[in-house]
Amino acid sequence: MPYSTGTVTNTRDFGTAASNIVLNVRNLDTSLPVSVIVKIFASVDSDAFYTAYVSSFDVPVNSYDIRTFFIAGNVAYEVQIYVGSITTPNALLSVYGIDEFGNLVTDQRFTQAEMSTIPFLSPNP
């Protein structure tokens, strides 16, 4: 099942802007890896979005994977994540914005329960 943060405003007018996005994935399964696809869409002007990143990776059994994506200079972004495995995926997700000093941007924190479920990952613009 894919998840989305929805569109995130990333300007200093509304607090601290994120320079990076951190994606955390924990595979709770003790026998099967999970496959992850992440798409990050961004906009420098709030009019047009472009595909900033598309990445896929596997998370081994009972382990973590933490990925960082550079997003500075964009006034808005969206993170979409798909987690799959042979059986029902047993993974925990979170997304955090980090400022240029490495501090958490508290308004850009998304746990799995706070993300929207979407029917499929969006196509690249």
Domain that holds residue 85: 2-117
Judge whether residue 10 has pLDDT over 90: yes
> Given this model, what pLDDT does residue 86 score?
62
In sequence order, which residues have a C-beta less than 8 Å from that of residue 80 and are 6 or more positions away?
2, 3, 4, 5, 38, 39, 40, 41, 118, 121, 122
Task: Please check the confidence at residue 60 and state whether its pLDDT lies above 80.
Answer: yes
pLDDT at 27: 95
3-state secondary structure of 16: coil
Across the chain, mean pLDDT equals 92
Q: Specify if 63 maps to a domain.
A: yes
Q: What is the CATH number of the domain that holds 44?
A: 2.60.290
What pTM was estimated for this model as a whole? 0.93
Domain membership flag for residue 122: no
pLDDT of 22 over the 70 cut: yes
Q: Is residue 125 part of a domain?
A: no
Question: How does pLDDT run across 70-124, given as a tens digit for each residue?
Answer: 999 999 999 999 998 666 678 999 999 999 999 999 889 999 999 999 999 999 8
For the chain, the domain total comes to 1
Residue closest to 57 by CA, chosen among 23, 88, 103, 16: 23
